[in-house]
């Protein structure tokens, strides 16, 4: 009879990476990594599908830094699809399908639309798709607000003829026209005079500002969105695809489940959906990962219980320490060429490299990003320090009707529970320190990974995965790793005691 206690699970704090020989300059390091079968990120960081971490603002910020955000699903199908739309319309370079307005719309409608899409100007398009003018917030200024309900866009817009460019214009030519005519916006038109796109100076500047940005084939920012397997899940998936989502994440606390695997199989075989990348999760064993691989998934997400806000392991007694879980899942995924995403449990940048060496290709972060400016929710002041709320999707707050919606219940297989006092939570509600803009936080995380790679002697992520060697350490060694025997007197941007 095999010893039932033979296996030991290890997590981030149980191991360190050994230093290796580095025969290159740090500047040569490239952190690009595949995170699904067909997609790569310059920065292998993914923001968690949680209602205190990823909505459109975070997703936009993540994609600009070369990572990607996964929009949470604790909201209606329409609201989630709208968030996808917001990300896809942001940046970069040429907007192929700009938001427009009709000449007969009122200024009131114009104002609402501007707020809704957070943009300040629109091409004005007639019923036949022809460009008839352009209108911006500035055009509103000269009409008293009392008259907005009765004044039409056609009365205040700048009408044709306008400076415009041909549909397939090059970046250089567009820049030339914007500069020559001192334009904010350059509409693009086809031979028949129909609107074919829009270029804005702001977007052009931004796309130069974010050289690592994660973009789709059309130059738009990439975005992911979480779905489930229950109720309207299929409709959610197809609506998100119509809105332009790049990656769907079939997202549950326990992914080794018939219903979810069927969902993945259907998404990857239906002609209407199979072009979209699908990530499945979460699992923590080799067989769980193998089941997703067999279902045709494009990446497997790993983590049962490591999350900072997660109580699954104490409430259910089930889980696998994260380094072991990632390693086990990778044994099924690597031979099939399916990337692994290590989800949850990261406290410091050093753990990113540990996850990659253990078998991951990218990491998903919750608590490390929840304190960013771009995460949902306001900052709150307590004891003279700023915080932001952070809660588990399995917490009572996220699953109960206390919130606006409680779609996250099916993540924990409690979709059919109707009364709040019947919910069995698997997460807690809390807060994390406010950390400023994502760009600064991401800089520290990627900077840490850079250093890991240099110390291990790996120029690329595949080299890191191949050459990285672990050593198991003791509790005493862990103590030695952290600052010790001193009182910290100044805050570091990448270390919290």
The annotated binding site is made up of 251-253, 303-305, 307-308, 310, 343-345, 366-367, 390-394, 426, 480-482
Write the burial class of residue 484 (CB in 10 Å: 0-12 exposed, 13-18 middle, 19+ buried): exposed
Among 10, 45, 50, 283, contact with ligand RVP (rule: CB under 6 A): 50
Decide the pairing of beta strands 340-343 and 362-365.
Answer: parallel
Residues 415 and 350: their CA atoms lie apart, in Å, by 37
Residue 304 makes contact with ligand RVP by CB under 6 A: no
Residue 393 makes contact with ligand RVP by CB under 6 A: yes
Residue 346 C-beta: closest distance to ligand RVP, Å: 5
Residue 371 makes contact with ligand RVP by CB under 6 A: no
Residue 417 in tokens: 């529970």
Residue 66 makes contact with ligand RVP by CB under 6 A: no
Binding part of the chain for ligand RVP, among 57-65, 82-90, 121-129, 301-309 by CB under 6 A, reads 301-309
Residue 383 C-beta: closest distance to ligand RVP, Å: 22
Residue 367 makes contact with ligand RVP by CB under 6 A: yes
Q: What are the residues facing 373 on neighbouring strands?
A: none
Q: Between helices 56-64 and 438-456, what is the axis angle to 10°?
A: 40
Residue 436 C-beta: closest distance to ligand RVP, Å: 18
Cα end-to-end distance, the chain, whole Å: 45
Q: Using the 8-state DSSP alphabet, how is residue 261 labeled?
A: H
Active site residue 57: no
Catalytic residue, chosen from 89, 236, 411, 431, is 411
Closest CA to 291 of 231, 237, 250, 230: 250
Residue 350 makes contact with ligand RVP by CB under 6 A: no
Closest CA to 394 of 409, 404, 416: 409
- For 118-136, give one letter per residue: b (16+ CB within 10 A) or e: ebebbbbbbeeeebbbbbb
Residue 348 C-beta: closest distance to ligand RVP, Å: 11
Active site residue 310: yes
- Judged by beta carbon, residue 52 or residue 290, the one nearer ligand RVP is 52
Residues 100 and 111: their CA atoms lie apart, in Å, by 13
232: how many CB neighbours lie within 10 A of its CB? 13
Binding part of the chain for ligand RVP, among 15-23, 149-157, 307-315, 380-388 by CB under 6 A, reads 307-315
Residues 187-246 close enough to bind ligand RVP by CB under 6 A: none
Residues 275-294 close enough to bind ligand RVP by CB under 6 A: 282
**How many Å is the maximal CA-CA distance in the chain?**
86
Residues 242 and 245: their CA atoms lie apart, in Å, by 7
Residue 52 makes contact with ligand RVP by CB under 6 A: no
Catalytic residue, chosen from 34, 185, 220, 310, is 310
Active site residues: 310, 411
Binding site for ligand RVP (CB under 6 A): 48, 50, 282, 303, 307-310, 312, 343-346, 364-367, 392-395, 426-427
């Amino acid at each position: 009879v095999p010893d039932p206690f033979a296996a030991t699970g290890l997590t981030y704090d149980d191991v360190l990476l050994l230093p290796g020989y580095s025969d290159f300059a740090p500047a040569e390091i490239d952190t690009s990594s595949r995170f699904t079968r067909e997609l790569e990120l310059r920065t292998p960081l993914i923001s968690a599908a949680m209602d205190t971490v990823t909505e459109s603002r975070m997703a936009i910020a993540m994609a600009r830094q070369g990572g990607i955000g996964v929009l949470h699903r604790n909201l209606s199908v329409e609201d989630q699809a709208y968030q996808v739309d917001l990300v896809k319309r942001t940046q970069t370079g040429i907007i192929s399908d700009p938001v427009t307005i009709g000449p007969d719309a009122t200024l009131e409608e114009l104002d609402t639309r501007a707020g809704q899409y957070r943009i300040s100007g629109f091409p004005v398009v007639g019923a036949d798709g022809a460009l008839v003018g352009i209108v911006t917030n500035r055009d509103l200024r000269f009409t008293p607000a009392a008259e907005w309900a009765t004044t039409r866009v056609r009365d205040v817009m700048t009408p044709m003829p306008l400076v415009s460019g041909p549909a397939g214009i090059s970046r250089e030519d567009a820049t030339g026209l914007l500069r020559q005519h001192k334009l904010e916006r350059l509409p693009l038109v086809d031979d028949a005079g129909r609107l074919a796109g829009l270029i804005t100076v702001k977007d052009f500047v931004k796309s130069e500002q974010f050289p690592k940005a994660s973009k789709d084939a059309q130059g738009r920012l990439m975005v992911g969105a979480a779905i489930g397997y229950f109720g309207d899940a299929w409709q959610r998936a197809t609506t998100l695809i119509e809105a332009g989502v790049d990656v769907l994440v079939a997202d549950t606390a326990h992914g080794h489940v018939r219903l979810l695997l069927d969902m993945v199989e259907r998404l990857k075989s239906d002609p209407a959906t199979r072009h979209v990348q699908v990530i499945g999760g979460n699992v923590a064993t080799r067989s769980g990962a193998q089941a997703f691989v067999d279902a045709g998934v494009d990446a497997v997400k790993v983590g049962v219980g490591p999350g900072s806000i997660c109580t699954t392991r104490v409430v259910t007694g089930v889980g696998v320490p994260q380094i072991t879980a990632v390693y086990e899942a990778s044994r099924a995924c690597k031979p099939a060429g399916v990337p692994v995403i290590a989800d949850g449990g990261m406290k410091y940048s050093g753990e990113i490299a540990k996850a990659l060496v253990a078998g991951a290709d990218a990491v998903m972060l919750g608590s490390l990003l929840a304190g960013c400016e771009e995460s949902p929710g306001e900052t709150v002041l307590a004891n003279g320090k700023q915080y932001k709320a952070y809660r588990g999707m399995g917490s009572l707050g996220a699953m109960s009707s206390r919130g606006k919606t409680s779609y996250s219940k099916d993540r924990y297989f409690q979709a059919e529970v109707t009364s709040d006092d019947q919910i069995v939570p698997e997460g807690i509600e809390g807060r994390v320190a406010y950390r400023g803009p994502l760009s600064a936080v991401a800089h520290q995380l990627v900077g840490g990974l850079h250093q890991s790679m240099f110390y291990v002697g790996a120029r690329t992520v595949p080299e890191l995965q191949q050459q990285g060697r672990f050593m198991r350490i003791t509790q005493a060694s862990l103590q030695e790793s952290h600052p010790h025997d001193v009182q910290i007197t100044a805050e570091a941007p990448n270390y919290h005691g």
